[in-house]
Each structure stands twice: as structure tokens, then as C-alpha cells.
Structure 1
């Protein structure tokens, strides 16, 4: 008899979570102005808002927390992290930051100017926000297959080379500070990018003398998909794949709260000494001294271990396959989701789930709210609300996909929790035809509105 799969870890500590009634949740979400970000965590049963900083650390990481060196300059914890970053990524220069958007803020302050164009594969919200805040433009060059949730394509995060070349041909080189590839591509459903595509983008960038950077928040999960799906990589280790991927770029930013397996942290890694020197100025201005950059010594120590653990196959298999388990349960229930399943989350296709709700009434947000009301499960809208308004016309931008992301924290929930989520979604799906109206925005910020936006129910 073949032995069943078992997670490569055991539980040492538990955290209690509170159940609630539907009546309580109806009251709470109204008090939160129908914004799931406004809910306090004790009012959430299963929290799938994000996988960023919400995972469980290992015993080895907690051990590093106990011996963290909190020296302001030149701490031993910084040296450990610097060594780990060099070993895993291969980049020469390194600046710690307190999280991913901080890394973007520092690097983009050095490189992005008004009127610039930054092409990439479905930039995530903070990436696009930092670009547009500087009065530049993010141009989405993702392949068309990414926008059809029913198509099975192994690398839906890939960059369309024709789209990218069109950007290169239609703008002066000095107006394109860099190309950014997000691995995995969160806004397209947590979809991976192949080594072949990265190589081709790198070649095109070199031809036009434009740097290539990575948004590497989920670089290890991307490497896992490469190992499982791309010809010629089955026998390579995750660490070998990661090193090769980064060898085609000039630098990276990362929210280490994802594939760094820590609750707080990020960094910039670079090969260009001049860019490093420019970024250093902004790192000191915005983050702190260059040997801590907004991070505690103990967090740097935990991240040094986390980068190593996240690039081990057994961990990644456990992590990605739990996400796939939830995805398959939903497919069995006929719930429309982005396929293939992403590495960190399952993405519900709101256009197919609740087409009865007009897009102008934020159907993906309405679906996310209903899931909370029915099951106490907090997801997040990845659709019109997140897409924000056009910075010039101030009209809503309607993306091709209206998604609800269910991001699975790392090493945190059991398969029983996944069964609960699937059952709650089946209940929502079975009553979908009753959904006729959504929500209207009554207050919003001028940029990255989804974090603090307020709604009223129609």
C-alpha cells in the first residue's frame, strides 16, 4: 500500500481562533464600512486576506530570534542575512528594508522619474502605486492566456515579448528605467514565469540596453513550478533554479514576509554598484542605517534561516500542494477559479461567479464580503477596487479579471480548515443567483484606495 502524503513538520504551539454567528458578522462588516481590511482579527475565523507575514516560523528561526544582535551598525545578524542573500540570489549588493513596498520606495526613488514607463507582467498594487505616485506609467505586458481563467497554461505569468518590444519601440530608452518581472505573478492569479521566458526577456532587455529587475516576493514558489513543469529542470534543486533565474536580472526587490518566511522584512539586491550607491541614500533617508534598514537584528537572523528553508523542495511541496488541495475541492464543487492553481492562493473568478452584479458595483468585493458573512472567512478583492482610478481621468479602471484572492498563510492552517473554506464557498455558490446588487464607494484615498476605502450596500 502506498503511504499517504504527510506534512514535513509537526505542531509545537497552537493559537486559538474565535467562532462567530452570521448575525454578528453582518453587524461587524457593516461597522467596517464593508471593507475587510477594517475588521479586527478577532472577528475573523479563517484569515486568508494575505499570505504576507502571516505564516508560522520554524524552531530554527525562533532560535535566531533569541540571539539577534540589535547593534545599530554592523550587527552580526546583518552579516548572517547578507551572507544568506548572496548565497541564495547571487547578487553582489544588498540593502535591508522593513518590507517589500519599502524596498520599492527606495529603489524607485533612485530610478523612476515623472514621465517614465515601466513595463512588466501585471504589476501588483504597491508596485503600480509607487510607479504612479512618481507620475510614471506601469504597462502590463502579460501574455493573453493569463486573462482567461479556464485556460490551462503552465506559465500564465509569462511576459508577452511582442507587447514588451512594442513598449521598447514606442518610447525613448531613457524613459524606460527598467522592466520588472513579478515571480510569481500575484495579480494574474499567483501564476509562475518560466526560465525560458525570463531568458528571452533578459535577452531583449540587453538588446535595448534596459535593466531587468524582479519583484521576487514568491521566488521560491516560482522555482517550484519551474521544477515541476518546465522541461530540463526536473533534476535541478530549488536553489539551483533560483540562482539561475536571478542570474538573468540586474536586481530585485522582495517582501520577505512571503518566501522569506518571516513576519516582517524585505530587501533590495543588486549587481550595479552605482544603483546601489543611489539606493543607499534613500535607504538611510526612509528606512534606517544600511545594516538594518528598518529591521530588528532578530528579524534579520530569522530571515537568514527562512530564505534557506523556503528554497527546500519538501517545504515547497507541502505549501503549494495544500493550496492545490483547496483549489481541487472548489473545482469539484464547480466553483469558478483561476486555473492552473497559483502557488500561494486560490483566486475566485467573480465574473463567472456573480455576473448578475454589475461591474460598476464591484462584484468581486461583493463576493468577498458574502464569503465573510457566510463563513467568517476573510479574503481580498483583486479587481476594480484594487485597480484604482486612472491617475489622469480619475475614472475607474476595469481590469480583465475580477478576482477574490484566498491567500493561504504558510505552515499555519490544516487541511480541515481548507475543507471548511471549500464548504463555505459551495454554500455561497449555491445561492449566487440571488445576488443582484453590490456596493458603492462613499470615501476613498487618491491612490491605493483598497486599503482604506469605505462602501455602502446598494
Structure 2
């Protein structure tokens, strides 16, 4: 059941195929370089791209823009305490600002950091501190066809192998990302979080939860984890799961339901003070942290809305609708469907291409070329040097698109697959020096002939 109605609309139109061809070439076959006006249905990310509620817009108008001691900060801090259970909050301009603050505080050269699976900016921030990010996904996490309830879990067996190899003194931080974006938005069980907490205690490490999609994760827990039946409220599950962390890093642009902002939250006064000092250097005074007061106020409302059962259930249903439409026309997708996006299996869709031809990025470009649909590759192009499936993420902005848009996406993908064998693949034309973030700015060019897989 749809949990809201539209009060503001934006007209959109599908650019001509000729215009799309020119735009794609000018963008260096990297859809990050496309202008928004050249995109029809934009599924590049769900980060900061959703629609805010009328209550959030009202809060925006009432925002307190004081440099220090803002009332809007007080409202955000109160929401974080009530919804997530943490006493201390350090606001930042967005999630990667929070990563810079927290990981810049906790990590040093030579450290090793296990995570269920690092996302791109997390991996980059860990590496930027001279530390080594190590992915510890649960077995089967990278099998697109395996049906399992919590494929986002952290493998403690793998994490212990890491500690045995490098020594506990080199592992000061353990991270768990919920939901697990780099593993197709798969949820993490509360039981796994409890076990990771115990593991972190064993090795005297700080346990950090990347909580960007904490509400979506709680909804999956409510559906799938036996200890949390349907009569357990979403907010109760959230507080239980997050209570096991020493700190959380948060992008408010996801389950904060806003277009800008993030924060670090903790109950540790010493860690709070250290993060606060670093935030002053990189983000701003501790009661605004790189955000306008109106953005703080809107996020305070958004955090509370995110744990409303009608909202979060509708959120998961909208993503499932897109998945069902794609499957109905034969598009291979990662199963089970995650909370914020549908992940296409580009390795199967373009099975004639080898990983060196970047089949995921090739599929991204064909979706845009065919129907003006923008997605993002999360495979060999985005994560060089790692072993993972060739996936394309179609991230669904919150409260933005409707069934008709999803039908267009499915029709576009169906048309691309009908001529899949004619896709020749891509090769790098230029790339930045930091491989962890190359997919944001690298440029590519078409191969003259397909680089086929064996």
C-alpha cells in the first residue's frame, strides 16, 4: 500500500536517441559525467535523491542558522538519541565527511580493517589513512542466484583468519555495513551484529556500524529473523541492533531521508571529543558540522519518519516492484532483492564479454543509450583488484518514482538484452590515481570488437 501522495511534481522528458548518443560519448562512457537534464529515469543512487515530506519541508523553513548552539542541532541530537540510542552526535556535510572524521580519528598507517564488505568511499577512507580494508562477506554473498535471508552478514571465520594472520594489535576497528551495499543491498541479522560485537571485544577493537540504511535493514530483520516477529516495532529493532556498536557512521542522505548531511554518533565521551576536534578542522563547528540549520532540522524529522512501519514497508515494496517487472521480461537479477536497489547480473546478461571488457559498465551505458535510464556499475570497474560478480545497481530514490517509471526501466532493459550479443564492451581511456574511487571520474571508450569470455 502506498504510504504517501504527491504534492509537488517535476516535469521530465526522454531526450532523443541522437542526443543520448552524443551525451554518452561526451561523458567518456561514464554516466557520472552525464548532465541530469540528459537523464530520463535516474537510478544512479538513492543517496540524497529522494523526496522529502511536508513535515520535513516545514522543518526546513524553521531551521535555526546559528553558527553555534543551533536549535536545529538540538532537534537532530534528540532524534538520534530517540531513534538510534546514542548520546553524542558529530554532524557532517554527508556520509563521507563522517567517514573522514571517524576513520581519521581511529586509524593509523599499517592498520587492518575487516568489514562485511567495504563500499567505495569507506574503502577509500580506510586506505587514505594508510590502513588496509579487508572484505569478510558471508559465504555465498557473491552468488547472485543463492536465496538466503542475510547475505549481508560479516563472516566471523574470515575475520578471525585476518586477525590470526596480522595480529589483533593491527586490527583496531571492525566495521559492519547495514544494509550491505556492496553485496547487493543485502541485510544483516541482529544475531550477526551481536556476534561481531563479541568478536570486537575479544580483540579489543572498536566496533563501528555504517548505519546508512538502518531502517531498511530493520524491516528485513522483522520479516526474516525468528527472534523478531511482525509484532516487534521497527524502532525497537533499530535500537537493539545499533546498541551493540561503539559508534555509527551515517549518511543522512539514505535513511535520514534528506538531500544533504550525515553524522558520527557514539556513547563514548572520549571518542566523541576526539571526533569533534577533527570535525572542527574538516567540517565545521560541532553544532552545524558542514550543514545549514535547515538541513539539520529536516534530518531530525527524517530519522523519525524512517522508522515508521508504513513508510519503510512501502519502501521495500517499491524496490520489489521494480525487481518483479525486470524478472517478468527475463532480466537476470541478484536474489534475494535488497532494500534500496535492484542489482542486475551483468555477467549473465552480457555473458559473451570477459571482465576486462567491463560488462557491468557496458550494460550501464546500453541502458542509458536505449532508454535514458542511469544506473551504476558495481563490479570490476568500480572495484578493481577484487573478486565479485559483475553487477549493475539500479538504486531507487525514496518517494520519487512510480510504477510507470519502473515499467519504462524494465522495457529498456528488455530491449538491451534482445541485442546483447552486439555489445562490444569498453576499455579504459583515462583513470585517476586512486583506484578505490576510479569509477567516479575515469573515462572509457568502446572496444572495436568484443572481448569474449571463455
The normalised TM-score by structure 1 is 0.95
Match of residue 440 from structure 2: 451
Determine whether 1:439 maps to 2:439.
Answer: no
Q: Equivalent of 1:411, from 399, 407, 432?
A: 399
Determine whether 1:242 maps to 2:238.
Answer: yes
Match of residue 378 from structure 2: 382
Q: Following superposition of structure 1 onto structure 2, how do residues 97-176 of structure 1 map, counting pairs within 5 Å? A: 97-176=92-171
* 1:145 alignment partner, SS class: coil
Q: Following superposition of structure 1 onto structure 2, how do residues 331-350 of structure 1 map, counting pairs within 5 Å? A: 331-350=327-346
Match of residue 394 from structure 1: none
Q: Give per-residue Cα distances to partners, 1:101-145, cap 9 Å, x unaligned.
A: 000001111111111100011110000001111221111111121
Q: Give per-residue Cα distances to partners, 1:32-69, cap 9 Å, x unaligned.
A: 11110000000000000000000000000000001100
Shift of 1:398: 4.3
Q: Following superposition of structure 1 onto structure 2, how do residues 28-427 of structure 1 map, counting pairs within 5 Å? A: 28-234=23-229, 235-388=231-384, 397-427=385-415
State whether residues 380 and 388 of structure 2, in contact with CA within 8 Å, keep that contact through their aligned partners in structure 1. Answer: no
Shift of 1:205: 1.4
Shift of 1:399: 2.6
Distance 1:126 1:296 in 2: 23
Shift of 1:407: 0.3
* 1:70 alignment partner, SS class: coil
* 1:269 alignment partner, SS class: strand
Distance 1:387 1:398 in 2: 6
Q: Give per-residue Cα distances to partners, 1:306-352, cap 9 Å, x unaligned.
A: 00000111001111111011111222222111100010000011111
State whether residues 62 and 294 of structure 2, in contact with CA within 8 Å, keep that contact through their aligned partners in structure 1. Answer: yes
Q: Give per-residue Cα distances to partners, 1:177-197, cap 9 Å, x unaligned.
A: 211000000010000000111
Q: Equivalent of 1:16, from 2, 11, 14?
A: 11
Q: Which runs of 5+ in 1 are unaligned?
A: 1-5, 389-396
Distance 1:165 1:429 in 2: 42
Distance 2:318 2:358 in 1: 29
* 1:386 alignment partner, SS class: coil
Distance 1:108 1:210 in 2: 13
Distance 1:167 1:210 in 2: 13
Shift of 1:358: 1.9
Distance 1:174 1:78 in 2: 37
Distance 1:160 1:33 in 2: 38
Q: Give per-residue Cα distances to partners, 1:46-103, cap 9 Å, x unaligned.
A: 0000000000000000000011000000010000000101111111211000000000
Q: Give per-residue Cα distances to partners, 1:118-175, cap 9 Å, x unaligned.
A: 0011110000001111221111111121110001001110111111111222223231
Q: Give per-residue Cα distances to partners, 1:345-404, cap 9 Å, x unaligned.
A: 00011111112122112110000000000010000010112114xxxxxxxx14321110
Distance 1:355 1:8 in 2: 39
Q: Which runs of 5+ in 2 are unaligned?
A: 448-454
Q: Paired residues, what number?
A: 444
Distance 1:272 1:169 in 2: 28
Distance 1:23 1:356 in 2: 27
* 1:342 alignment partner, SS class: coil
Shift of 1:239: 0.3
